């Protein structure tokens, strides 16, 4: 049994899920913990293939990084050597990959028990439900890191406890009685919620839900002023407590601009656009999302016909030599730059003075980063909570617009004419609605920065979290 003596400094173990969108916020949190407590120790567990990225990210901190051995031959469709979701041949393999992480548990448990100073808290991703058992065995409180919004978390809870008020996938309904001003459809939810069926996916999400419910709290990468109704709803109606300590992307200082020839070519290109006075649309759909070549072409046509300047970061694993995309790149080379199959510093791009809009899949990290850098958004949702988030930026935050299919559905194939129209709408800085979106996102950006400052809501919440969970001197009864 672990106990924290009065002399023991706090020691936090962090266990991220093996995907950059899940990992990076927890690396930001690591920095934040060091800034907040000079006596704190932080140990991060990862795997050998993911270790170099973490070492580079945290090279100027005192974080300890321990590599676990990722299992091989975990699934017939997952090649050996893949240790990150970003490298999976198909995102349909996400759940088998997540389930395979349980093979890390014996090694994790053995090391966890030997760490000094004694571990006071384990912070692990929600996709690693087995880590609750590891922490509980040693009487260590576990905090769940949840990479979604309080808004999405609240809506998932409401929907899981009642039937949908309509059988149609695209019929609009209101979320009464709690949030009657929200208008949603069944298609805004993933099939696991809108059309649940027994199977591997449902089993995994059930396991994740049970483990979260048994944990000491949920760390939310958000801030209270962004979604107060949803934070209040969760902490009043659900458990465990949600702790809003973000936006975590603000915990790291922006990079100092390096010499011209050492900067990435896309930053150099943005500098050229700025010198020419050209506003740029940044287009990116995350490192995990799968888009068909047909949809890529439709996006390309919409961007070309919009007449706007754009920087498009895209994954083209099997379409790199697609004739249409090759010709498209040639046609737009004077006003469009395609960055293929490379990881970029998204905050560095969004913070550039010439970036006036962000066409995004609406992952929660991307929304927060766009808000922090005061960039209005065009929602292009693909999966997970992204359809709900796209609704959020348009209806609730009023900082953007979203695409729809030719039939008006929020899910399916998005035509080039809609993409062209929405891009023009987002980038027309003389349009009154565009001005309103920019005004709203600037207000939220200011609130985000105030929340992270000394005395702000997220600053206070992290202090409470450290005092009540991480540094609690209570000895749990494990008998």
Phi and psi, residue 201, nearest 5°: -65, -50
| Whether 208 and 336 share a structural domain | no
| Whether 407 and 269 share a structural domain | yes
Tokens of 475: 């000895």
Tokens of 178: 């709690």
- 174 in a domain, yes or no? yes
| Residue 473 Cα distances to 2, 9, 477, 479, angstroms | 11, 11, 13, 18
Tokens of 142: 């576990």
The residues near 147 (Cβ < 8 Å, ≥ 6 apart) are 21, 22, 25, 125, 126, 221, 364, 365
Q: Are 93 and 74 in contact (CB under 8 A)?
A: no
Strand order, beta sheet including 336-340: 336-340, 309-314, 280-284, 355-360, 377-379, 400-402
Half-sphere exposure of 5 (CA within 13 A, CB side): 5
| Whether 270 and 214 share a structural domain | no
| Whether 74 and 56 share a structural domain | yes
Return the CATH number at 138: 3.40.50.2000
Q: What is the pLDDT of residue 196?
A: 83
Strands 377-379 and 400-402, how do they pair? parallel
d(CA 408, CA 399) in angstroms, rounded, equals: 21
Domain of residue 312 covers 265-448
DSSP alpha helix (H) spans, 241-331:
265-275, 293-306, 323-331
Q: How many domains, the chain?
A: 2
Tokens of 305: 């016909």
- 325 in a domain, yes or no? yes
| Whether 209 and 70 share a structural domain | yes
Task: Find the farthest-apart pair of alpha carbons in the chain and give their distance in angstroms, rounded.
Answer: 70
| Whether 235 and 285 share a structural domain | no
- 235 in a domain, yes or no? yes
- 118 in a domain, yes or no? yes
| Residue 94 Cα distances to 121, 172, 204, 321, angstroms | 27, 30, 11, 27
| Whether 455 and 417 share a structural domain | no
Other beta carbons within 10 angstroms of residue 91's beta carbon come to 16
Q: What is the pLDDT of residue 255?
A: 53
| Whether 368 and 396 share a structural domain | yes
Q: Are 239 and 213 in contact (CB under 8 A)?
A: yes
Q: What is the pLDDT of residue 232?
A: 98
| Whether 294 and 432 share a structural domain | yes
- 2 in a domain, yes or no? no
| Whether 199 and 295 share a structural domain | no
Interhelix angle for 432-452 vs 457-465, to 10°?
40
Report cis status (omega within 30 of 0) of the bond before 240: yes
- 226 in a domain, yes or no? yes
Q: Are 4 and 118 in contact (CB under 8 A)?
A: yes
Report cis status (omega within 30 of 0) of the bond before 247: yes
Q: What is the pLDDT of residues 366-383, one digit of tens each?
A: 999 999 999 999 999 998
Q: Are 2 and 119 in contact (CB under 8 A)?
A: yes
Q: What is the pLDDT of residue 138?
A: 96
Other beta carbons within 10 angstroms of residue 427's beta carbon come to 22
d(CA 12, CA 121) in angstroms, rounded, equals: 5
Q: What is the pLDDT of residue 286?
A: 85
Other beta carbons within 10 angstroms of residue 376's beta carbon come to 29
Which residues in the chain land under pLDDT 70?
A: 1-7, 253-261, 317-320, 473-479
Q: What is the pLDDT of residue 3?
A: 47
Phi and psi, residue 478, nearest 5°: -100, 5
Tokens of 321: 């030599």
- 477 in a domain, yes or no? no
Of 321, 356, 327, residue with least CA distance to 341: 321
d(CA 101, CA 107) in angstroms, rounded, equals: 11
- 4 in a domain, yes or no? no
Tokens of 416: 């080039």
| Residue 479 Cα distances to 136, 140, 389, 475, angstroms | 11, 14, 43, 12
Q: What is the pLDDT of residue 261?
A: 53
CB-based burial, 128-162: b 16+ in 10 Å, e otherwise: bbbbbebbbebbbbbbbbbbbbbbbbbbbebbeee
Tokens of 80: 């050996």
| Whether 403 and 415 share a structural domain | yes
| Whether 109 and 120 share a structural domain | yes
Tokens of 1: 């049994």
């Amino acid at each position: 049994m672990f106990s924290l003596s009065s002399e023991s400094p706090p020691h936090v173990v962090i266990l991220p899920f093996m995907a950059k969108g899940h990992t990076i916020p927890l690396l930001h949190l690591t920095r934040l913990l060091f800034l907040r407590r000079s006596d704190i120790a932080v140990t991060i567990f990862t795997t050998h293939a993911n270790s170099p990225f973490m070492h580079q990210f945290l090279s100027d901190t005192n974080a300890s990084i321990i590599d676990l051995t990722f299992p091989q031959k975990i699934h017939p469709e997952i090649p050996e050597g893949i240790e990150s979701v970003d490298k999976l041949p198909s995102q349909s393999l996400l759940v088998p990959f997540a389930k395979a992480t349980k093979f890390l548990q014996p090694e994790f448990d053995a090391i966890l028990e030997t760490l000094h100073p004694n571990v006071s808290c384990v912070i692990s991703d929600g996709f690693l439900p087995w880590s609750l058992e590891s922490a509980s065995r040693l009487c260590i409180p576990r905090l769940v890191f949840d990479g979604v919004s309080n808004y999405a978390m609240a809506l998932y809870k409401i929907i899981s406890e009642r039937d949908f008020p309509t059988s149609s996938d695209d019929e609009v309904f209101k979320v009464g009685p709690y949030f009657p001003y929200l208008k949603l459809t069944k298609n805004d939810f993933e099939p696991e919620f809108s059309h649940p069926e027994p199977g591997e996916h449902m089993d995994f999400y059930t396991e994740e839900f049970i483990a979260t419910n048994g944990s000491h709290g949920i760390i939310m990468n958000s801030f209270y002023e962004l979604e107060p109704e949803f934070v209040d709803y969760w902490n009043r109606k659900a458990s465990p407590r949600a702790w809003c300590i973000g936006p975590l992307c603000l915990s790291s200082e922006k990079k100092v601009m390096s010499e011209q020839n050492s900067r990435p070519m896309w930053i150099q290109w943005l500098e050229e656009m700025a010198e020419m006075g050209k506003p740029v649309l940044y287009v990116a759909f995350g490192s995990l999302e799968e888009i068909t070549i047909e949809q890529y072409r439709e996006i390309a046509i919409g961007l070309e016909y919009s007449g706007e300047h754009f920087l498009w970061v895209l994954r083209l694993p099997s379409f790199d030599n697609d004739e249409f995309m090759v010709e498209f790149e040639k046609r737009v080379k004077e006003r469009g730059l395609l960055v293929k199959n490379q990881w970029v510093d998204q905050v560095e791009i969004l913070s550039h003075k010439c970036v006036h809009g962000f066409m995004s899949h609406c992952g929660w990290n991307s929304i927060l980063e766009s808000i922090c850098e005061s960039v209005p958004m065009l929602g292009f949702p693909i999966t997970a909570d992204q359809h709900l988030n796209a609704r959020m930026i348009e209806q609730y935050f009023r900082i953007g617009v979203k695409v729809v299919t030719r039939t008006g559905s929020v899910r399916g194939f998005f035509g080039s004419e809609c993409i062209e129209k929405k891009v023009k709408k987002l980038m027309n800085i003389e349009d009154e609605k565009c001005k309103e979106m920019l005004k709203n996102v600037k207000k939220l950006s200011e609130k985000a920065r105030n929340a992270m400052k000394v005395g702000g809501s997220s600053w206070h919440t992290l202090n409470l979290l450290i005092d009540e969970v991480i540094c609690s001197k209570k000895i749990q009864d494990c008998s």
